Structures are given as C-alpha cells and as structure tokens.
Amino acid sequence: MNTRKPALFDLRAGAVDTLYLQLRCSDLDALQQALRQRLDASPDFFGDEGLVLDVRRLDEPIDVDALADWLRAQRVRPIGVLADAAQSAWAGAQLARVHDATRPAATEGSQPAASAAPAAPAAPAAASAPRTMLIDRALRSGQRIYAPADLVVLGAVSHGAELIAAGNIHIYAPLRGRALAGAHGDSAARIFCTHFDPELVAVAGVYRTAEQDLPGRGGPVQVQLREDSLCIDTLTLD
C-alpha cells in the first residue's frame, strides 16, 4: 500500500510576460501627469495589468514606493523594479528587484571576451532556437497568444484579444485587438499587418493606442521602432 502523501505544490522555473514602464524622468509629479493623460485615454485598458518599473535610464533617484502607490490607485499593479547594480538603492522597500535575463551581454560593435581554451562546438541553432508559431484561426475577445519567437496569424484578431511575441508579428487578417512584438526588449522586431485597426500596438515596450493618431488604418502597414519612437508605415502589397 502506497502511503506517500501527494505533493501539495511544485516549484518550477518559468517566464512571466508583463508590461515594462521605462522611466525617463525622475520628476514624480511630471510622470504622474503624463501617465494620467495616457490612462485617461484608455480608462479600462490597463486595469489590473502587471507592471515592471524600469529605472535604468534615469540619472537621478526617483521615489519608487510613491510611484507604486500611485499606480495601484489607478488599478495598475507594479510587481517589480528593473535597475542596474549602481541603482540598487533606488528600488524602494515595496517592490522586488527583477533581472532582465534577455538583455544581451554584448552590443553591436563590441567584441566577446577572449577565452583561455577553445570553446566546444556549438550545437546547431535549429536544435534549440524557438520556432515560428502559426495561428490559423480567428482570436476572440479575451484570448491571448504568446510566441517565444516570431508569430504568424492567419485569422482575424478581435477587440480584446492579444498577441505577444518575442520576435516579429505577422497578421494576414484584420487586427482589432492588441499586438506586442519584441516582448523581451528586441527593438528590431516589427509588426506586419494587412488590415490595421488595433486597440494597441507595441514594439519592445514602446506602444501607441487607438486613441492616438494611427496612420494606415484599414490598410496594410508595418510597425517598427526608429530612435525609440514607434513608426507606422503604409505597405504596398501590389
């Protein structure tokens, strides 16, 4: 007879995709005013959404706890702070420090560190690299799709549906919900859509909503970042 008690919980490594609020100003009043304008434009859009506060671009400290309290009053849930080692004292007392595991160790133009011994041959990229995800059905309101690489969608994306991809997003149907490419910070990611009418589009955390001016509505577009600004360009499919 097996008298072993069943496990009551499991601990597993995982990944959580959430919004990142990248702060570029330490003036709390100015930030709250700018955020209030964005939240008022979509009063229910960010309701109860988890949020990481990214302070890595700040040159001066900010009262993270005060900002977190204010965000909670707006029905936004701050869950952590992303900070460099030198900014560890800025994190406040309420939120945990989070780490950006997807941040590349070397940037364009840098050289990898020399190794004392030759490295072992790398395994073929196809063996471990995430594959493009294909969705060949329509997505209803409330449905969410996450792709660890590129995402291709052949069905309509309804209002309230959400697409999230670490890489590019290709939508060969009407987009009426949300599309967030470069979810782990890939600023080179793009969104391609044949019928553009979204609630929100974002690349690497920089986003625009339906309440803002969105060029190319109803037609084919590509969305990309240029110098930290989200650009929407009309596509010619002839």
Report d(CA 166, CA 145) in Å as an integer.
Answer: 11
In a domain, 122, yes or no: no
Please say whether the dihedral angle defined by the alpha carbons of residues 224, 226, 230 and 235, taken in this order, is positive or negative: negative
Residues 167, 91 within the same domain: no
Q: What angle is formed at CA 224 by the lines to CA 232 and CA 133, rounded to 5 degrees?
A: 115
Residues 135, 230 within the same domain: yes
Tell me the percentage of the chain whose pLDDT exceeds 70.
Answer: 75
Residue 57: pLDDT band with limits 50, 70, 90:
confident
In a domain, 110, yes or no: no
In a domain, 163, yes or no: yes
Please say whether the dihedral angle defined by the alpha carbons of residues 59, 21, 100 and 168, taken in this order, is positive or negative: negative
Q: Which of 53, 78, 98 is the last residue of a domain?
A: 98
Return the CATH number at 53: 3.30.70.260
Q: Which residues contact 132 (CB under 8 A, 6 or more apart)?
A: 147, 149, 150, 151, 152, 167
The number of domains in the chain is 2
pLDDT in tens, 157-179: 999 999 999 999 999 999 999 99
Residue 222 burial by CB count (10 A; 0-12/13-18/19+): exposed, middle or buried?
Answer: middle
Answering whether pTM is above 0.85, one says: no
Return the CATH number at 179: 2.160.20.70
Report d(CA 236, CA 226) in Å as an integer.
Answer: 20
Q: Which domain holds residue 162?
A: 131-234
Residues 140, 79 within the same domain: no
Residue 79: pLDDT band with limits 50, 70, 90:
confident
Number of Cα atoms under 13 Å in the Cβ half of residue 171: 37
In a domain, 220, yes or no: yes
More confidently predicted of 13 and 185: 185
